[in-house]
Amino acid sequence: MEINENAYRLGSKRSVIREIFEYGKKRSAEIGVENVFDFSIGNPSVQPPKEISDTIKELLKTEDSVLLHGYTSAQGDFGARKAVSDSINNRFGLSLTADNIYMTCGAAASLAISLKAMLNPGEECVVFAPFFTEYRVFIENAGGKVVVSKPNESDFQIDLNDFKAKINDNTRVVIINSPNNPSGVVYTENTIKRVCEILKEKEKEYGKTIYLIADEPYRELVYDGVNVPYLMNYYDDTVVCYSFSKSLSLPGERIGYIAVNSTMNNAQEVYLAICGAGRLLGYICAPSLFQQVIKRCVDVKVNVEPYKKNRDILYNALTEYGYECVKPDGAFYLFVKALEKDAVKFCEKARCKDILVVPCDDFGVDGYVRIAYCVPTDKIERSLPRFKELFEQYCLS
Ligand code: PLP
C-alpha cells in the first residue's frame, strides 16, 4: 500500500459509536428526528452555562484580534494555564503552577499527547474494562501495548487482584477513567487507595516509574453528592487529562488541558516530553478564543439536574421492565446487559424500533450496551414504551 496502512484501516472503519451516530442522522432525515431515539453519542444536550455566552460576547467586543484569534504559546496562554492551576490548587489543596499545565484540544488530544510522551515502543498501558474505545488507538499510536484489566461484574468497580496480576516490569502507564464511560460508575475512594498502593508497591519492586493517567472529562457530572477522589492526592506520578467538553457542554470547541503533578520526581521532564509530544502530533496552541473563555470561566459548571432526571427516569423504568444495569453515579451513560449473548444482535433488534444504542464489545466487556442519556428528557420519556416492547419481544421468543 502506498499510504499508511494503519491510518487507512482506522479511517475506513469508523468507531462503532460514530457508525451508529451517522446512521441516526440518515434515519432522522428519512422519518424525522423526533422519531429516532438516538442514544449513541455523548453529545451534551444541556445548554452551556450562561456565563460562557456572556464571556464570549464580552470578549468579541475587544479589538485585539491576536488575543482572540492569534497563536498562543505552544503549551497555551499563560493566563489560561494559571487560571487552571489556581483552580486545581483551590479545589484539591495542591501546589501546581502554570508550568504544570498544557492546554489541549479536548481530552482526546490530552490522552494522545500524554501517552505519546510517556510510552516507549513496546511498553504496556493497563486500562480498566469497560474503557473508552479510543484508548486503544492512542496507545497503539504511541507504540504501546494495551493490557485490559477486567472489572468486578457485580458493580463494575476494579478487580484489584486482576489488576495486580496485570502489572509487570514492562508496565509504564495505567489509565483510570472515573466517572466512567461507558458504565457511569465512580470508583470508590477505597478502590482508588488500593490501586495506588499496588502501584507504589510495583514501582518499588521493579525500580521504575509507572504513570497514572486520570482521564476526567466527566469529573463534574456526578449525582447525589458522590465524591470523585482527585488522583494527584493519592499518587505522585499522576497526570490529569481533562476536558471542558462535558463539564461546560462545549465538545465542538475542542478545549481541555493536561496537568502534571508537581510532586512527581521528574515533573519537569514529563512536562517537556508532553510539549514535545504535542509538537510531534501537531497539537500545539489550543483554540485561542476558548483559552480566553476558560481563563475567565474555569470554575463555572453546567447544570447537572437534567442528566440526573434522565438517569432516574431511564434507570427506574428499565429495571422495572426487567433489564439489568448498575445504577450510574456519574457521567451520562447507562450500561445495560443485552437481552441476548450477542450485544450487536441486540442492538440490531433495538434499531428495528429506531432505538439506537451501542454494543460494548469494543469497550472490553461483551454482552452489554451503552445508552447515552444526555438527550432531552422528553426523548427519554417517549422511548420508554419501545424499550418495554423490546423486552417483551425477548420474553415471547
Ligand atoms: N475520554 C473519555 C472517557 C470520553 O468519554 C471522551 C469523549 O467522549 C474523551 C476522553 C474525549 O473527550 P473530548 O471530546 O474532550 O476529546
Peptide bond into 251 cis (omega under 30): no
> How many angstroms does the Cα of residue 243 sit away from the middle of ligand 1?
7
In which band, very low, low, confident or very high, does the pLDDT at 18 lie, cut at 50, 70 and 90? confident
Question: How, if at all, do strands 145-149 and 124-128 pair?
Answer: parallel
Rg of the chain, C-alpha, whole Å: 21
The pLDDT value recorded for residue 92 is: 98
**Ligand 1 pocket member 76 (CB < 6 A):** no
For the CA of 256, the nearest atom of ligand 1? 15
Domains identified in the chain and CATH numbers = 5-49+303-396 (3.90.1150.10), 50-297 (3.40.640.10)
The alpha carbon of residue 7 and the mean position of all alpha carbons in its chain are separated, in whole angstroms, by: 22
Mean pLDDT taken over the chain: 96
CA 140 – CA 129 distance, rounded (Å): 17
CA 252 – CA 70 distance, rounded (Å): 19
**Ligand 1 pocket member 108 (CB < 6 A):** yes
Tens-digit pLDDT profile for residues 54-74: 999 999 999 899 999 999 999
Question: How, if at all, do strands 358-359 and 256-260 pair?
Answer: unpaired
Query: What end-to-end distance do the CA atoms of the chain give, in Å?
Result: 47
Tens-digit pLDDT profile for residues 129-158: 999 999 999 999 999 999 999 999 999 999
- pTM for this model (two decimals): 0.96
In which band, very low, low, confident or very high, does the pLDDT at 328 lie, cut at 50, 70 and 90? very high
The pLDDT value recorded for residue 14 is: 76
Tens-digit pLDDT profile for residues 285-311: 999 999 999 999 999 999 999 999 999
Q: Contact at 8 Å (CB) between 365 and 328?
A: no
> How many angstroms does the Cα of residue 108 sit away from the middle of ligand 1?
6
Q: Which of 216, 243, 283, 370 to mutate to test the pocket of ligand 1 (most atoms within 8 A of CB)?
A: 243
Return the closest-CA partner of residue 80 out of 61, 62, 101, 96. Answer: 101
For the CA of 215, the nearest atom of ligand 1? 1
